[in-house]
Chains A and B, each alone.
Chain A
Amino acid sequence: MARIPQKPEPAVLLHENVTLMEMDRPGQMEELRALPAFRAALVKVLDPCTVVLDGRHLSELMASLRKHGHHPRILSEDMGE
């Protein structure tokens, strides 16, 4: 059995280059959960309107959203829209 290393000292975690998805209504999350591509890309739900996505699955997610009539805007924190 592998040895569990000691816990590191408490620290603040700085998550960089995160991909967020924001919705304008909480109910939209349930609508999106019906899409397998969204479930595959979903990493963490931060609040009912904000989720963290896996950037690797973004292209499949966008294709799936477009197929279902959604055209989300993709913004970049550095470059803007």
Chain B
Amino acid sequence: MPSESAELFLDGYSTESLKVMARRRGWRDATSAGKVALIAFLKDRLFSRSANHCLIRSLPPRQQHLLAALKARGGKADLVTLSATASGDSAEVATDLRDLVELGLMLYPPRAEKGRKHRLGQCPRVWLDPTAADALAPASAECGRPKLLATPPAEIHEAFPGLLLADMVLVLNSLAGNQVPPPTEGLRGGRPWREIATRLLVPPEESGNRDLLPPRLAFIYALLVEMNLVRVRSGFLVAAPEAGPLFHGDRATLHRAAFSAWQKTQIWNEFQRISELLPRPIPDEALGLHTPSTGKVSRARGKVLTVLKRFAPAHWYAFSSLERELKVHNPDFLIQRGDDGRHGGTTYRGFGQRGRDNTVLPLNLMEDWDRVEGRFLARLLLESLHWLGMVRLGYQLPRDGDASRVDAFALTTAGAYLLGLATGYPDGRAESVPLLVQPDFSILCLAPAPDTGMLHDLCAFADYQGGDRVARFILSRESVQRGCHQGWSADSITRILTDATAGTLPQNIAASIQEWEDAFRRFRIIRGVALVEDPHGLMSASPHAAALDKAAGGQLAPALRRVPRGGKSTLNAALRKARIPVRHLDYAAGPGRVLTFDKGNGITCSPRGDDWLTRSLLERIARPVAGESGRWRLDPRRVSAAAADGVSADEIVRALGERSRGTGPEIRLAITAWSRQAAGVSVARLSLFTCQDQELREMILAVPELAAEMAEQIADDTFVVRAGRMTALRQALKARGVRLRHNGSLRDRTTPSDTATSRTGGTDPLPFRWRRGTKGSASAAASSAQLRFLLLRAIQARRKVRVEMRRDGEALYRSRQLAPLVLDGSVLTAACLENGGRWTFHLDQIRSVELLAGRFTT
């Protein structure tokens, strides 16, 4: 085709419209010869440098600016970054970008899948068309430093680094003496952590879920764990020993350690603190989630700190300027907008915007950066960096309880030091003021944040009482003696307080501290001591008496010496050398079987039973038989005295059983009876009737003939049967289908057709089964009573049961083996022995109950 034709053909069309037409007609795929020639012409005319230059000059200034910004970034950029550099709102910028792509001046990078193109708005990046890049003027260095805020904010929230460090000390000291378990998954703590939260200098905000740790406390816990200052011992948290030196050390070092711990911690997650975002299920998780992991959040903190270094310390900046800096320099600092197809798509995957009624709305990857990364940034400033004392927060308008908004910020001196922008750490002396110790044993710390070293010391021997503007402590006997346990003495406590009060410690305080310490030092208990007893004088008679005397240690009592610490092996060697036989009596090991029981109340003790514990036991409950060595006789008075001392009959019987081949029933009965007598319990032979099932009891008592046999009601469910009438009562009940057990309690009320065959051959009426609606049950009400009766018996006897039950709405009954625990009205709480867990059932959901032979333990 001649070129003139093409010129003619193109007459009447503007260059811009021709370019759009060419692109829309898919000129790259043209096949006919005419089209190929036309395309060659169009390429030459329309996509040449001069053509592009003319086109770019005709564009609106905003679009020209976008092209220049793209070229300044090397021809490749994220849409978020370009949007941040453009003026105008996001909708206008999106239109501009769309126009530039339509004009062929911007391109989307090729997709990972060959042969497929990105559609508009799908790809997070754009490239500059090479021909357009040639036509653009050289880029100028447009990005400058962030602009300062013109006027200081109206409302300023100051930052106190010492507050956080002081609260860390308080949390650590709260662990001492209290059984505080580590928080469970999701930082759930429960009551111990709620109590700790009340002791913090800065009261934490109220959380909706009381089990969750308050955010500030969770933040402190995360720092302590990362700094390795807490350990888990026997399932509970304790402070590490290195905490003391750290808190007494250089304040800058401590602050830097906390700052480093925050950068690394994965327990604290600012992204999860964004309350406006909710998890959003996605249909295909294989495509990947945008929800950042804890590791990514940790790395994002470092990237934010890098950008934060561009801001001059002590000057106020708008929060939007920080957002803009991050958008321009590192828009993917938290969430990667990949274009490899895996993370593709137009919306954030895995979470969305909280809507009304907790619905989750999708968020656009290109347009909602402020709602995701921006909120994360705000959360960093509002909580972590502010708590760390690195930034002051400013508000142009009153905050009005909006906990997620920040208008302006300024780096503090401490923040500048931690970021490496300044060399000197702020002098903390301004915050540490002398203590005021009052005669009423209260200690006042007149500073927003006491010196951490002082606070650490105070917490050791005084109880923190809270306070608004001042920290208040109370000295008490208990707190001082707790300090003595940790190695403090009255002298050291008095010296600390005297120094801190500049010598104005009240006289009564010093005297009381000394008195409390004296009370503490009165007793001491030493475990694991070794004593050597020489009742026959073998050691003194030995030729090696001098060596033995040296090895045996100091004399404690006649013929008794205390072996020095670590001297047992030396003593054993000396005894072997002197050929003196040794009997080892280890009180940590179990006792030997040295007791035998005679008929009646006699006890014989083997000569091997000369350990002090056995002898003490025998002396506690028996008297030695005169003239017969090793023979004892139980003494009721001594047993009663032992019971009065708090040694129970069970304990005595157990101790006797450990030292014998089992105590006889007579001994057990005697000890138990004498113990109970001492406890004021009298035993009488009475015929008692007990029926725990209220409905059955009322039914029985409604029969005048049966009620007449009861002499007196002594409990809700227990009656004294008239003397000599027990047999008559049993027969009267049996005639009505109620059989009694030998101890008088009700067994069951079934007809033979209802009762399953006893598995124990009839000696024990259990197990048996009772089922609703079977022949013989009196009525629906009685049937519920029967089930309740069986369940009560099972709970009382700790018997396993098998129930047939169905939940509401279920058609079929299921069989479950349960350990019934509590029956409260018509609600049964039971542990499932098949699937585990604790369940509650309403009696209406249960069709049958079968008592099983096995028992369960709680």
**Are A and B genuine complex partners?**
yes
Q: Smallest Cβ distance from B16 to chain A, in angstroms?
A: 88
Distance between Cα atoms of A78 and B567 in the complex (Å): 11
Q: Mark A1-41, 1 if CB is under 8 A from B, else 0.
A: 11011111111111111111111110010001000110110
Whether A77 touches B525, Cβ cut-off 8 Å, given contacts A14-B585, A37-B646, A69-B519, is no
Distance between Cα atoms of A5 and B606 in the complex (Å): 7
Distance between Cα atoms of A6 and B629 in the complex (Å): 11
Distance between Cα atoms of A11 and B533 in the complex (Å): 9
At the interface with chain A, which of B55-63, B241-249, B611-619?
B611-619
Pair A36/B630 contact, Cβ less than 8 Å: no
Which 6 pairs, one residue from A and one from B, show the smallest C-beta to C-beta distance? A72-B523, A17-B588, A77-B528, A11-B581, A10-B536, A71-B481
Does any Cβ of A come within 8 Å of B520's Cβ?
A: yes
Which residues on the B side are within 8 Å of A43 (C-beta)?
A: 612-613, 616
Which residues on the A side are within 8 Å of B647 (C-beta)?
A: 40
Pair A4/B522 contact, Cβ less than 8 Å: no
Q: Smallest Cβ distance from B547 to chain A, in angstroms?
A: 14
Distance between Cα atoms of A74 and B582 in the complex (Å): 29
Distance between Cα atoms of A43 and B525 in the complex (Å): 14
Which listed residue, B528, B644, B646, touches A76 by the CB 8 Å rule?
B528
Whether A74 touches B630, Cβ cut-off 8 Å, given contacts A2-B598, A15-B587, A47-B557, is no
Interface size of B in residues (CB-CB distance below 8 Å): 70
Q: Which of B535-579 contact A (CB under 8 A)?
A: 535-536, 538-539, 556-557, 560, 563, 565, 568, 571-572, 575
Which residues on the B side are within 8 Å of A76 (C-beta)?
A: 526-528
The listed residue with most A CB atoms (<10 A of its CB), out of B523, B556, B584, is B523
Whether A4 touches B630, Cβ cut-off 8 Å, given contacts A12-B538, A15-B587, A16-B568, is yes
Does any Cβ of A come within 8 Å of B427's Cβ?
A: no
Does any Cβ of A come within 8 Å of B610's Cβ?
A: yes
Distance between Cα atoms of A10 and B519 in the complex (Å): 43
Interface size of A in residues (CB-CB distance below 8 Å): 54
Q: Which of B442-490 contact A (CB under 8 A)?
A: 477-478, 481-482, 484-485, 487
Which residues on the A side are within 8 Å of B631 (C-beta)?
A: 4
In the complex, the chain B residue whose C-beta lies closest to that of A7 is B607
In the complex, the chain B residue whose C-beta lies closest to that of A66 is B478
Does any Cβ of A come within 8 Å of B521's Cβ?
A: yes
**Further contacts, 8 of them, CB under 8 A, given A46-B557, A78-B528:** A1-B602, A4-B606, A4-B629, A10-B535, A12-B538, A22-B524, A70-B522, A71-B481
Whether A16 touches B526, Cβ cut-off 8 Å, given contacts A2-B598, A11-B580, A46-B557, is no
Whether A12 touches B529, Cβ cut-off 8 Å, given contacts A2-B604, A4-B629, A17-B587, is no
19 pairs across A/B with beta carbons < 8 Å? A1-B598, A4-B604, A8-B583, A12-B538, A12-B575, A14-B572, A20-B529, A22-B524, A23-B522, A36-B645, A50-B556, A54-B613, A58-B525, A70-B519, A71-B485, A71-B520, A74-B527, A75-B524, A77-B527
Does any Cβ of A come within 8 Å of B608's Cβ?
A: yes
Q: Smallest Cβ distance from A49 to chain B, in angstroms?
A: 10
Pair B529/A13 contact, Cβ less than 8 Å: no
Pair B556/A13 contact, Cβ less than 8 Å: no
Whether A28 touches B607, Cβ cut-off 8 Å, given contacts A1-B598, A15-B530, A15-B585, is no
Q: Smallest Cβ distance from B220 to chain A, in angstroms?
A: 30
Distance between Cα atoms of A81 and B527 in the complex (Å): 10
Which listed residue, B607, B616, B645, touches A8 by the CB 8 Å rule?
B607
Which residues on the B side are within 8 Å of A18 (C-beta)?
A: 528-531, 587, 612
Whether A19 touches B529, Cβ cut-off 8 Å, given contacts A4-B631, A13-B583, is yes
Does any Cβ of A come within 8 Å of B205's Cβ?
A: no
In the complex, the chain B residue whose C-beta lies closest to that of A31 is B522
Q: Smallest Cβ distance from B71 to chain A, in angstroms?
A: 73
Which residues on the A side are within 8 Å of B536 (C-beta)?
A: 10-11
Which residues on the A side are within 8 Å of B533 (C-beta)?
A: 12-15
Does any Cβ of A come within 8 Å of B692's Cβ?
A: no
Pair A46/B556 contact, Cβ less than 8 Å: yes
Distance between Cα atoms of A22 and B539 in the complex (Å): 26
Does any Cβ of A come within 8 Å of B494's Cβ?
A: no
Pair A20/B630 contact, Cβ less than 8 Å: no
Whether A16 touches B586, Cβ cut-off 8 Å, given contacts A70-B519, A71-B520, is yes
Distance between Cα atoms of A72 and B485 in the complex (Å): 9
Whether A8 touches B557, Cβ cut-off 8 Å, given contacts A14-B585, A19-B526, A28-B522, is no
Which residues on the A side are within 8 Å of B604 (C-beta)?
A: 1-2, 4
Whether A8 touches B608, Cβ cut-off 8 Å, given contacts A28-B523, A46-B560, A70-B519, is yes
Whether A77 touches B526, Cβ cut-off 8 Å, given contacts A12-B538, A12-B581, is yes
Does any Cβ of A come within 8 Å of B534's Cβ?
A: yes
Does any Cβ of A come within 8 Å of B596's Cβ?
A: yes
Does any Cβ of A come within 8 Å of B176's Cβ?
A: no
Which residues on the B side are within 8 Å of A32 (C-beta)?
A: 523
Which residues on the A side are within 8 Å of B587 (C-beta)?
A: 15-19, 55
Which residues on the A side are within 8 Å of B521 (C-beta)?
A: 24, 73
Q: Smallest Cβ distance from B523 to chain A, in angstroms?
A: 4
Pair A22/B630 contact, Cβ less than 8 Å: no
In the complex, the chain A residue whose C-beta lies closest to that of B520 is A71
Q: Smallest Cβ distance from B38 to chain A, in angstroms?
A: 95
Q: Mark A53-64, 1 if CB is under 8 A from B, else 0.
A: 111001010000
In the complex, the chain A residue whose C-beta lies closest to that of B552 is A12
Distance between Cα atoms of A42 and B589 in the complex (Å): 19
In the complex, the chain A residue whose C-beta lies closest to that of B535 is A13
Which residues on the B side are within 8 Å of A44 (C-beta)?
A: 612, 615-616
Does any Cβ of A come within 8 Å of B532's Cβ?
A: yes
Pair A15/B611 contact, Cβ less than 8 Å: yes
Pair A5/B612 contact, Cβ less than 8 Å: no
Q: Smallest Cβ distance from A47 to chain B, in angstroms?
A: 5
In the complex, the chain B residue whose C-beta lies closest to that of A22 is B524
Pair B584/A14 contact, Cβ less than 8 Å: yes
The listed residue with most B CB atoms (<10 A of its CB), out of A13, A44, A72, A73, is A13
Distance between Cα atoms of A14 and B572 in the complex (Å): 9
Distance between Cα atoms of A31 and B686 in the complex (Å): 44
Distance between Cα atoms of A47 and B644 in the complex (Å): 25
Which residues on the A side are within 8 Å of B588 (C-beta)?
A: 16-17, 55
Q: Smallest Cβ distance from A66 to chain B, in angstroms?
A: 9
Distance between Cα atoms of A10 and B196 in the complex (Å): 60
Pair A75/B525 contact, Cβ less than 8 Å: yes
The listed residue with most B CB atoms (<10 A of its CB), out of A8, A19, A25, A71, is A71
Pair B477/A69 contact, Cβ less than 8 Å: yes
Pair B484/A71 contact, Cβ less than 8 Å: yes
Distance between Cα atoms of A15 and B754 in the complex (Å): 65
Pair B581/A77 contact, Cβ less than 8 Å: no
Pair B612/A14 contact, Cβ less than 8 Å: no
Distance between Cα atoms of A50 and B580 in the complex (Å): 28
Which residues on the A side are within 8 Å of B534 (C-beta)?
A: 12-13
